[in-house]
C-alpha cells in the first residue's frame, strides 16, 4: 500500500485556473481534475467556456466544475471573479495564473498602449489575482500558486521584447511572493514553457522552415504538448512538492540549457 498517496492527490482542493478553456490552461484544468481538485475556470468567451465546463464535468463526475467569463486584463472583471467565488462559498486553495497574450513586433514598432496591454495581462493581472486570492489561500493548509511564465523570460526568443519582459517580471514576482508568503503557508512557483502545441503557437509552427529552426534548438527534437506543461503545473500544486517554492521550472525539451 502506498502510504504517500495523500501527497499525490488533490482531494479537498479548489483550483482557480485562468485561461482554462484552451491550450495549456485547459490541459492544466484536466490534470488537476484528474487528481481530485474541484475546478473554477475563467476565460473570456463564455459560450466556449461553458462547453469546456460541461465536458470536464462529464469526464470527472466526482468533482465540482464551475466557470465564469471574465477578461482578466480588466481590473473590474478580476474583482468580479472573486465576487463570484465569494458567492459560491468555494474558497480556493490553488491558483494557476495561465492567461497570457502577446503581439510580437520589433521593439521600435510598438505603440505604448500595445506593450502596456501585454504587461496588463501577463504581469499585472497575475499579480492582482495573487493578491485577491491571498485571503482564501492563507486559510488552506496546502495552498499553492503556479504562474505560467515562459522561456522568453529567461533568454531572447523571437516573441518581441515586451512579452519577454513581462514573463521575466512574472518569474521574479514568483520568487518575491514565495518568500513573502512562505509564512502564510502559500507556495508560489512558475513553469516556463518553450514551444507548446496550442492554438496560439500553431500558426508559427505551421511554417516548416521555422519549425525546423525551433526543433534544431530543442534537444528533445519535438514540440511540447499542453499535457506536459499541465503535469509540471500539477506537480507544483501537489503536497508532493511541499518543500518547493520560488522556483521557475522550465518545460522546454532542453531548450534553455542547450548551448552548442
Ligand X SMILES: NC(=O)c1ccc[n+]([C@@H]2O[C@H](COP(=O)([O-])OP(=O)(O)OC[C@H]3O[C@@H](n4cnc5c(N)ncnc54)[C@H](OP(=O)(O)O)[C@@H]3O)[C@@H](O)[C@H]2O)c1
Which residues are the active-site residues?
163
Q: How far is the CB of 196 from ligand X (least distance, A)?
A: 4
Q: What is the largest CA-CA distance in the chain?
A: 61
Distance CA 167, CA 31 (A): 23
User: Which stretch in 9-17, 111-119, 192-200, 242-250 sits in contact with ligand X by CB under 6 A?
Assistant: 192-200
Between the alpha carbon of residue 62 and those of residues 7, 35, 56, 59, 159, the distances in Å are 19, 11, 11, 9, 40
Of residues 24, 28, 40, 143, which one binds ligand X by CB under 6 A?
Answer: 24
x/- site string to ligand X, residues 104 to 123, per CB under 6 A? Answer: -----------------x--
196 interacts with ligand X by CB under 6 A: yes
Of residues 13, 15, 19, 178, which one binds ligand X by CB under 6 A?
Answer: 19
* Closest among 164, 167, 223 to 196, alpha carbons compared: 223
76 interacts with ligand X by CB under 6 A: no
CB-wise, 142 or 153, nearer to ligand X? Answer: 153
Of residues 29, 67, 95, 100, which one binds ligand X by CB under 6 A?
Answer: 100
Distance CA 177, CA 137 (A): 13
195 interacts with ligand X by CB under 6 A: yes
Q: How far is the CB of 159 from ligand X (least distance, A)?
A: 9
Q: Which helix (H) or strand (E) holds 251?
A: strand 248-251
43 interacts with ligand X by CB under 6 A: yes
Per-residue burial over 193-205, b if 16 or more Cβ lie within 10 Å, else e, is bbbbebeebeeeb
Instruction: Report the interhelical angle of 23-34 vs 46-59 (nearest 10°).
Output: 30
User: Which stretch in 4-12, 31-39, 79-87, 189-197 sits in contact with ligand X by CB under 6 A?
Assistant: 189-197
Q: Using DSSP, state whether 85 is helix, strand or coil.
A: helix
Q: Which helix (H) or strand (E) holds 125?
A: helix 125-137
Q: How far is the CB of 53 from ligand X (least distance, A)?
A: 12
Contact residues: ligand X, CB under 6 A: 18-25, 42-45, 48, 71-73, 98-101, 121, 148, 150, 193, 195-196, 198-201
Amino acid at each position: 500500500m502506498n502510504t504517500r498517496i495523500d501527497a499525490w492527490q488533490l482531494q479537498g482542493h479548489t483550483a482557480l485556473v485562468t485561461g482554462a478553456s484552451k491550450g495549456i490552461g485547459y490541459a492544466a484544468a484536466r490534470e488537476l481534475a484528474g487528481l481530485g481538485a474541484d475546478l473554477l475556470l475563467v476565460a473570456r468567451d463564455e459560450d466556449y467556456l461553458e462547453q469546456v465546463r460541461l465536458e470536464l464535468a462529464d469526464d470527472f463526475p466526482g468533482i465540482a466544475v464551475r466557470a465564469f467569463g471574465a477578461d482578466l486584463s480588466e481590473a473590474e472583471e478580476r474583482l468580479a471573479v472573486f465576487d463570484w467565488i465569494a458567492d459560491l462559498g468555494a474558497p480556493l486553495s490553488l491558483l494557476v495564473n495561465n492567461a497570457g497574450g502577446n503581439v510580437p513586433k520589433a521593439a521600435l514598432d510598438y505603440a505604448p498602449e500595445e506593450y502596456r496591454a501585454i504587461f496588463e495581462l501577463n504581469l499585472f493581472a497575475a499579480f492582482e489575482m495573487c493578491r485577491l486570492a491571498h485571503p482564501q489561500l492563507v486559510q488552506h493548509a496546502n495552498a499553492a500558486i503556479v504562474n505560467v511564465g515562459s522561456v522568453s523570460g529567461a533568454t531572447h526568443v523571437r516573441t518581441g521584447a515586451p512579452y519577454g519582459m513581462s514573463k521575466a517580471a512574472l518569474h521574479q514576482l514568483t520568487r518575491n511572493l514565495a518568500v513573502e508568503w512562505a509564512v502564510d503557508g502559500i507556495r508560489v512557483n512558475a513553469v516556463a514553457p518553450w514551444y507548446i502545441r496550442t492554438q496560439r503557437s500553431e500558426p508559427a509552427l505551421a511554417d516548416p522552415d521555422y519549425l525546423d529552426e525551433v526543433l534544431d534548438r530543442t534537444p528533445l527534437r519535438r514540440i511540447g504538448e499542453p499535457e506536459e506543461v499541465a503535469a509540471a503545473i500539477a506537480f507544483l500544486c501537489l503536497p508532493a512538492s511541499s518543500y518547493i517554492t520560488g522556483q521557475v521550472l522550465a518545460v522546454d525539451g532542453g531548450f534553455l540549457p542547450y548551448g552548442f
